[in-house]
Structure 1
Amino acid sequence: MRYRLDVVAPSVAEVVRNAGGWLVDRVMAGWDVTVLVTGDDDIRPLQILGVETADLEAVMALWEERPHPQTVAVAAELFVSDARVRAGVLGALEQGFTEVTLWGEQWPEELDSTIDSVQHELSAAARAFKVQALAAVGDTDPFGRTEAFRCGVMSCPSVAADLVPAS
């Protein structure tokens, strides 16, 4: 059985900028990573990262039938703006069986007690692929060696050791 990570984001550029390196490292570790996005963005940058893609609306319509992933990563912006995403995140946190990881500036205060700051240190390969994916979305801004997230506490041990507490 391979581990699964579903990523929910409003755009391809958002995923690449905030989580691109982490996704590359998860793919290289053998995870099945699927990015669920809205709209008709060019998916080539996500192909550079080595992830699968799916339409968010189509997946949300069949969410209960879809095999549940070990980890869900969500742009905090969508948690705030989309009631379905919010309900899914809160449900996953309540059940405690799915690792919930969020990123973004628009931080929902209601999650402060259940979410801890974590970071992922990008491998050299992740940095190289992220540079190319960023170029493909027209983003040439520099980025650091780590990507910062907030991660929900699970009732069972995490399946991944690549997210460590941020100091």
Structure 2
Amino acid sequence: MRYRLDVVSPTVLDAVQYAGGWIYDRVMAGWDVCVLVDRHEDVRPLEILGAQTLELESVLESWEQRPHPQTVAVAADLFGRDDRVRRGVLGALEQGATEVTLWGGSVPSELNSSVESVEHRLSAAARAFKAQALKAAVDASADTIERTESFCSGTMVSVAADLVPAS
């Protein structure tokens, strides 16, 4: 059985900026990583990271029927503006078997007691591939790749040791 990470992002650039190194490292660790984004976007930056892509809207329409991944990562602003994403995140946290990770923006108040700050230290390869993915996404800041990516995460059981409490 392979582990699966679903990344729910408003844009390709957002996924690459906030979670690109983590996506790459999970792919290299043997995970199936699928990024859910708008169908009209150029997904080449995500392909550079090794991720598969699916069209966000069609997946959200059938979210309940989709097999649960071991980890779901969501842009915090999507949690706040799309009720389907919100219900999916809250449901995953209630079940406790899925690691739920959010990035960007502030943590919604209803999640404050359910999540904690964590970070992922990027491998050297992840930093290099993230830089190339950012360049493909036309991001001028691609020359400066931080060594860590920061998230808020909540789960009863962690399936990976790559996210550690932020100090």
- TM-score band by shorter chain is over 0.9
Where do 1:1-167 residues align within 5 Å?
1-141=1-141, 142-154=144-156, 157-167=157-167
2:152 is paired with a residue whose SS is: strand
The answer to whether the Cα contact below 8 Å between 2:98 and 2:155 also exists between their aligned partners in 1 is no
Show structure 1 runs of 4+ deviating over 6 A: none
Shift of 1:140: 2.5
> Which region of structure 1 is more displaced relative to structure 2, 135-144 or 92-101?
135-144
Normalised by the length of structure 2, the TM-score is 0.96
Counterpart CA distance in 2 for 1:19 and 1:161 is 16
The answer to whether the Cα contact below 8 Å between 1:11 and 1:39 also exists between their aligned partners in 2 is no
State the aligned residue count. Answer: 165
2:138 is paired with a residue whose SS is: coil
Normalised by the length of structure 1, the TM-score is 0.96
1:158 is paired with a residue whose SS is: coil
- After superposition, what is the alpha-carbon deviation per residue over 1:6-41, rounded to whole angstroms, capped at 9, x for unaligned? 000000000000000000000000000000012411
Counterpart CA distance in 1 for 2:155 and 2:67 is 21
- After superposition, what is the alpha-carbon deviation per residue over 1:57-79, rounded to whole angstroms, capped at 9, x for unaligned? 11122223222100000000100
Identity %: 67
- Over aligned residues, Cα RMSD in angstroms? 1.0
Amino acid corresponding to residue 69 of structure 2 in structure 1: P
2:127 is paired with a residue whose SS is: helix
Consecutive unaligned residues of structure 1, counting only runs of 5 or more, are none
